[in-house]
């Protein structure tokens, strides 16, 4: 608990009195502005999520997510929020976090673009020739379920702010249970969550 106070005090001392700090570190982080959040060291942030005040099972609770303040952020956060809405809004919290993990894992991989928006929009240009179907299926991307969008927006914020990616074991691919793409026979399966099956693309080491 003292460790959490020390980190927050260091970042936000000019604006927040110690007596006003929230007891829940995730809620406290969600209340920061994007600029304040960007100044928090990621390893310290991950440490907060692992503190005794937040049980991991609570993070994946719909009630817990609903209690968080409305999320906000820049272009990369918006891209991730929209991807979770169109790809996984009908999934459980775990299912939505899992899809977010895949996108962030790709950002970290040298085989893919190095930004969230770049990963999501990769290959878009020809119909059905893209990484995420909603970006190239020819249909307008309209958000009709506002409550569902607000929920995935919070999840996008949590994942981008350092929520540990523990659900998919480094997955870079997924598909619904109704299809089986050719790469599914080649890549190691890492998890099945809801209607999605997850896989990790093997790292290819080139020889000189």
Are 174 and 75 in a shared domain?
yes
Which helix or strand (DSSP H or E) is residue 104 part of? helix 93-108
Residue 15: is its pLDDT beyond 80? no
* Three-class SS state of 175: strand
pLDDT digit string, tens, across residues 66-99:
999 999 999 999 999 999 999 999 999 999 999 9
Evaluate whether residue 206 is within a structural domain: no
The boundaries of the domain holding residue 108 are: 55-199
Q: Which of 92, 81, 62 is nearest to 146 (CA)?
A: 81
Q: What is the pLDDT of residue 31?
A: 55
Cα angle for residues 93, 84, 195 (degrees, 5° grid): 60
pTM, to two decimals: 0.72
Evaluate whether residue 5 is within a structural domain: yes
Which helix or strand (DSSP H or E) is residue 198 part of? strand 196-199
**Boundary (domain end) residue, out of 54, 70, 97:** 54
- 207 pLDDT tier (thresholds 50, 70, 90): low
Which residue spans within 91-180 are E strands per DSSP?
A: 173-176
Are 31 and 125 in a shared domain?
no
Residue 61: is its pLDDT beyond 80? yes
Evaluate whether residue 204 is within a structural domain: no
Q: What is the pLDDT of residue 130?
A: 77
């Amino acid at each position: 608990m003292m460790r959490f106070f020390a980190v927050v005090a260091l970042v936000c001392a000019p604006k927040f009195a110690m007596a006003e700090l929230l007891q829940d570190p995730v809620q406290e982080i969600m209340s920061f502005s994007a600029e304040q959040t960007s100044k928090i060291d990621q390893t310290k942030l991950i440490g907060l999520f692992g503190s005794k005040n937040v049980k991991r099972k609570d993070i994946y609770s719909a009630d817990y997510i609903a209690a968080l303040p409305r999320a906000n952020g820049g272009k990369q956060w918006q891209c991730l929020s929209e991807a979770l809405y169109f790809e996984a809004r009908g999934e459980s919290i775990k299912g939505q976090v899992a899809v977010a993990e895949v996108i962030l894992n790709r950002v970290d991989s040298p085989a893919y673009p190095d930004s969230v928006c770049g990963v999501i929009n990769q290959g878009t240009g020809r119909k059905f020739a893209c990484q995420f179907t909603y970006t190239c299926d020819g249909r307008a991307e309209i958000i009709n379920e506002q409550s569902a969008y607000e929920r995935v927006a919070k999840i996008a914020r949590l994942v981008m702010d350092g929520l540990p990616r523990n659900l998919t074991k480094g997955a870079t691919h997924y598909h619904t249970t109704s299809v089986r793409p050719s790469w599914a026979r080649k890549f190691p399966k890492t998890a099945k969550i809801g209607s999605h099956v997850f896989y990790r693309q093997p790292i290819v080491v080139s020889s000189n």
